């Protein structure tokens, strides 16, 4: 290479560098001198957004002031529209979803399409409100297929460049954003109760998530997640199909509402009043200032009639009882290996207050949040509140109703005896001759029985004859007074049940025969009642005939100053004015049943608490019969009534241990025991 060429190249490099330098100088001059004011204005540009300050929900306490549900503070992820580039929304959302999946964390996605291919509808009900709402949003008509709906989502949200799996995930969030009315004035909550690890990652990578903010919010905290989940219920974000109704009440799409149980029934008092704040940010999204326009006001506190200690004992005892029946079902002379579910209800007989109510199988609030799909798919239905919504044939626990009606109407005399020969033959000509249980098991009848002995021994024959004389219309008039086949009024909802009779048969286009009255009289036929109804039925009898509306709420109190806003509502639903001598006979029959009758194996004559009881065994379409047990204590001054039902529990006497455990705890403070015994076993005189 010549010296001349080398010198030329050197001069050329210097010239290029000089030109670049001059260009930079020119650009800098243009920024500072020509457009300086514009760029200064942009750098100082501020973004204002009005946001909601979420009010804390009121707390829930038991009757002794023990905390059941309160609040804690958690992190949530929110989107701010002004700071989230529209053209990058889908990429930002997908990146966030991958981050959540990395930590196995949940985010809101209630799009009614399956999460996995082929992305079918999550329901077979084409009238489902969520589906209709989705179709309306996409302007689809004539019940489109899931494939058509998915394609419309891809087009609407511009997702063609993503894989089908990514399309479904992004569409789920975009749909939620639309339902939440995401806008400049309305942030969207992407996820709640987020871990600190996720929060740290988002803050560390904030440049990758423009418009994504971390905020704090009140979250529900269950002091003992296992206590009364069916009664307390749960909260969640508003569903799209709910919003139209709730918007008129001042709710916003991102709000949390009670979905079931007390959380739903007492929503209007538990929900506080949200506040408002203005957030000032710079162009990079950094918060410069927060101005509170209106402070949030906490919701009111609710005190329940539930005693959490008694509730825990009821839950444990019910579980132990069912597991024991199933475990011992293969022993000689026993049955019930298929026992797998049940319920127990405890009532204050003088007010209708529910002191405890347990269902088995059950779940915890933690499981509900983390494993809902598994719980919902479980064949034993742990999410189902059997105590309030399960309906069961009452079996022989119904016999007090038949006895009261027959005595009050004069169909049988107070001291009259009916001779149980074992087989009731009045309708033998029609091919119907029902038997007393004693004849079926031992080949003989009970002999002469008055009302007290008939209840003590659970004599079917006596009640066949009493009901045949009485007639189904008179019987059912008293049943209604006692609350059978009608709702009890509890705040969180319940089943109505079925009262057997001509009216019900007519409603299903079937005929009522005389023999049906005999079966109805002993708690079979079409009779189906909830454990709550049966507990209230017993409470009505033992308090002398006053039927109270059942309730779970003892009072409502201001969270700030503790002032009582709403007292316990003790309401009389009906009155059955029994003759005193008839009342005493029924009470004596239940007392004798507990001492030396079919419930003697549970209590017997030596039990320290004088209780009254009635056992019941009800046939079911398949499997072992259900076991039912109703009881009250103390006998001389009834305070509480208990109903226990165990599906496939074999005998009423098998399930009575739950009632005894409850009495031990309520009256004597004794821990849960094991008193499993046999029903309908002939006992020596005591």
Question: Crossing angle for the helix pair 399-408 and 580-596, nearest 10 degrees?
Answer: 150
Q: Is the pLDDT of residue 680 over 80?
A: no
Spatial contact of 193 and 236, defined as CB atoms under 8 Å apart: no
Residues 542 and 630 in one domain: yes
Q: Is residue 382 part of a domain?
A: no
Pairing of strands 354-360, 612-618: unpaired
Q: Is residue 380 part of a domain?
A: no
Q: Is residue 261 part of a domain?
A: yes
Residues 136 and 85 in one domain: yes
For residue 17, the model assigns a pLDDT of 60
Q: What is the mean pLDDT of residues 388-395?
A: 98
For residue 255, the model assigns a pLDDT of 86
- Region of 104 on the Ramachandran plot (φ > 0 left; ψ -120 to 50 alpha; else beta): left
User: At which of 304, 337, 355 does a domain end?
Assistant: 304
CATH code, domain with 321: 3.40.710.10
Kind and range of the H or E element at 26? helix 3-29
C-beta atoms surrounding 232 within 10 Å = 23
Total tally of structural domains belonging to the chain: 3
The per-residue pLDDT for range 448-502, each reduced to its tens digit, is: 999 999 999 999 999 999 999 999 999 999 999 999 999 999 999 999 999 999 9
Distance CA 405, CA 182 (A): 63
Residues 513 and 484 in one domain: yes
Question: Which of 215, 379, 343, 336 is CA-nearest to residue 651?
Answer: 336
User: At which of 257, 277, 304 does a domain end?
Assistant: 304
Residues 217 and 338 in one domain: no
Question: Which of 419, 31, 70, 25 is CA-nearest to residue 224?
Answer: 70
Distance CA 360, CA 358 (A): 7
Question: Which of 92, 84, 35, 37 is CA-nearest to residue 281?
Answer: 84
Distance CA 326, CA 342 (A): 12
Distance CA 659, CA 667 (A): 12
Q: What percent of the chain has pLDDT over 90?
A: 72
Q: What is the mean pLDDT of residues 537-563?
A: 97
CATH code, domain with 68: 3.90.1310.10
The residue length of the chain stands at 686
The per-residue pLDDT for range 647-675, each reduced to its tens digit, is: 999 999 999 999 999 999 999 876 555 44
Judging by beta carbons within 10 Å of its beta carbon (0-12, 13-18, 19+), is residue 127 exposed, middle or buried? exposed
Backbone angles phi, psi at 566, to 5 degrees: -140, 120
Residues 273 and 358 in one domain: no
Distance CA 192, CA 377 (A): 25
Q: Is residue 377 part of a domain?
A: no
Q: Is residue 598 part of a domain?
A: yes
Spatial contact of 498 and 488, defined as CB atoms under 8 Å apart: no
The per-residue pLDDT for range 110-166, each reduced to its tens digit, is: 899 988 889 999 888 888 888 888 998 899 988 999 999 999 999 999 999 999 999
pLDDT band at 317 (very low <50, low <70, confident <90, very high): very high
pLDDT band at 505 (very low <50, low <70, confident <90, very high): very high
Distance CA 407, CA 401 (A): 10
CA dihedral 277, 278, 284, 285 (to 10 degrees): 20
For residue 288, the model assigns a pLDDT of 86
Distance of CA 594 to the CA centre of its chain: 34
Q: What percent of the chain has pLDDT over 70?
A: 91
Spatial contact of 609 and 663, defined as CB atoms under 8 Å apart: yes
DSSP 8-state assignment for residue 396: G
For residue 39, the model assigns a pLDDT of 47
Tokens of 342: 């049940």
Residues 206 and 99 in one domain: yes
Residues 269 and 359 in one domain: no
HSE on the CB side for 18, CA within 13 Å?
6
Q: Residue 242: which domain range? A: 48-304
Distance CA 185, CA 220 (A): 26
Residues 286 and 337 in one domain: no
C-beta atoms surrounding 608 within 10 Å = 11
Q: Is the pLDDT of residue 686 over 60?
A: no
Say which residue, 553 or 254, is predicted with more confidence. 553
Instruction: Report the sign of the C-alpha dihedral through residues 481, 484, 490, 492, in that order.
Output: negative
Residues 137 and 109 in one domain: yes
Pairing of strands 301-304, 60-61: parallel
Judging by beta carbons within 10 Å of its beta carbon (0-12, 13-18, 19+), is residue 37 exposed, middle or buried? exposed
The per-residue pLDDT for range 75-98, each reduced to its tens digit, is: 999 999 888 999 999 999 999 999
Concatenating the DSSP letter of every residue in 282-339 gives ETT--EEEEEEEE--BPPPEEEES--HHHHHHHHHHHHHHHHHHHHHTTSTT---TT-
Distance of CA 466 to the CA centre of its chain: 41
Residues 471 and 513 in one domain: yes
Spatial contact of 218 and 57, defined as CB atoms under 8 Å apart: yes
Q: Is residue 485 part of a domain?
A: yes
- The SS3 of residue 192 is strand
Distance CA 70, CA 222 (A): 7
Spatial contact of 269 and 59, defined as CB atoms under 8 Å apart: no
Q: Is residue 609 part of a domain?
A: yes
Residues 94 and 186 in one domain: yes
For residue 38, the model assigns a pLDDT of 47
Residues 612 and 657 in one domain: yes
Q: Is residue 90 part of a domain?
A: yes
pLDDT band at 24 (very low <50, low <70, confident <90, very high): low
Indicate the pTM of the whole model: 0.85
């Amino acid at each position: 290479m010549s010296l001349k060429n080398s010198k030329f190249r050197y001069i050329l490099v210097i010239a290029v560098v000089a030109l670049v330098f001059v260009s930079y100088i020119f650009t800098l001059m243009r920024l500072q001198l020509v457009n300086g004011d514009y760029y200064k204005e942009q750098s100082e540009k501020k973004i204002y957004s009005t946001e909601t300050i979420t009010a804390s929900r009121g707390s829930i306490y038991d009757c002794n002031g023990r905390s059941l549900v309160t609040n804690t503070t958690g992190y949530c992820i929110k989107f701010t529209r002004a700071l989230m580039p529209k053209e990058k929304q889908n990429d930002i959302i997908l990146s966030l979803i991958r981050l959540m999946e990395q930590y196995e964390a949940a985010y809101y996605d209630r799009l009614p399409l399956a999460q996995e291919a082929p992305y079918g509808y999550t329901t077979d009900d084409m009238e489902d409100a969520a589906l209709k709402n989705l179709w309306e949003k996409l302007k689809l008509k004539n019940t489109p297929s899931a494939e058509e709906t998915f394609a419309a989502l891809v087009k609407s949200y511009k997702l063609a460049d993503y894989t089908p799996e990514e399309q479904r995930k992004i569409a789920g969030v975009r749909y939620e954003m639309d339902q939440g009315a995401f806008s400049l004035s309305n942030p969207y909550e992407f996820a709640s109760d987020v871990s600190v690890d996720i929060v740290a990652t988002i803050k560390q990578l904030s440049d990758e998530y423009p418009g994504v903010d971390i905020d704090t919010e009140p979250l529900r905290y269950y002091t003992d997640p296992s206590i009364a989940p069916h009664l307390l219920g749960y909260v969640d974000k508003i569903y799209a199909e709910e919003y139209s109704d709730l918007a008129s009440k001042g709710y916003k799409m991102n709000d949390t509402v009670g979905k079931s149980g007390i959380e739903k029934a007492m929503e209007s008092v538990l929900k506080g009043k949200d506040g408002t704040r203005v957030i000032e940010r710079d162009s990079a999204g950094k918060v410069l200032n927060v101005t509170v326009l209106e402070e949030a006001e906490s919701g009111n506190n609710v005190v329940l009639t539930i005693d959490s200690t008694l509730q825990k004992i009821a839950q444990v005892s019910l579980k132990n009882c069912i597991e024991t029946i199933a475990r011992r079902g293969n022993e000689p002379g026993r049955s019930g290996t298929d026992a797998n579910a049940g319920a127990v209800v405890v009532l204050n007989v003088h007010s209708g207050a529910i002191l405890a109510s347990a269902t088995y199988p059950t779940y915890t609030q933690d499981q509900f949040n983390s494993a809902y799909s598994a719980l919902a798919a479980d064949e034993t239905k742990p999410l189902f509140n059997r105590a309030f919504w399960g309906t069961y044939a009452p079996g022989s626990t119904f016999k007090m109703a038949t006895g009261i009606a027959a005595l009050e109407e004069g169909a049988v005399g107070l001291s009259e005896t009916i001779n149980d020969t074992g087989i009731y033959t009045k309708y033998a000509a029609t091919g119907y001759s029902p038997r007393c249980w004693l004849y079926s098991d031992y080949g003989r009848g009970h002999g002469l029985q008055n009302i007290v002995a008939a209840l003590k021994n659970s004599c079917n024959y006596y009640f066949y004859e009493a009901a045949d004389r009485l007639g189904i219309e008179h019987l059912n008039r008293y049943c209604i007074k006692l609350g059978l086949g009608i709702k009890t009024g509890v705040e969180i909802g319940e089943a109505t049940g079925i009262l057997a009779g001509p009216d019900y048969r007519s409603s299903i286009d079937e005929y009522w025969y005389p023999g049906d009255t005999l079966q109805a009289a002993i708690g079979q036929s079409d009779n189906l009642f909830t454990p709550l109804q049966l507990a209230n039925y017993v409470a009505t009898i033992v308090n002398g005939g006053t039927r109270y509306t059942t309730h779970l709420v003892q009072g409502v109190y201001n969270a700030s100053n503790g002032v009582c806003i709403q007292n316990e509502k003790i309401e009389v639903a009906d009155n059955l004015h029994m003759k005193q001598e008839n009342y005493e006979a029924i009470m004596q029959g239940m007392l004798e049943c507990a001492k030396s009758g079919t419930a003697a194996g549970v209590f017997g004559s030596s039990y320290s608490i004088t209780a009254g009881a009635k056992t019941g065994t009800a046939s079911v379409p398949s499997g072992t019969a259900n076991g039912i047990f109703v009881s009250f204590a103390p006998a001389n001054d009834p305070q509480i009534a208990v109903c226990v039902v165990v599906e496939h529990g074999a005998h009423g006497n098998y399930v009575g241990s739950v009632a005894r455990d409850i009495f031990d705890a309520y009256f004597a403070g004794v821990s849960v025991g094991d008193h499993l015994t046999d029903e309908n076993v002939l006992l020596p005189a005591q």
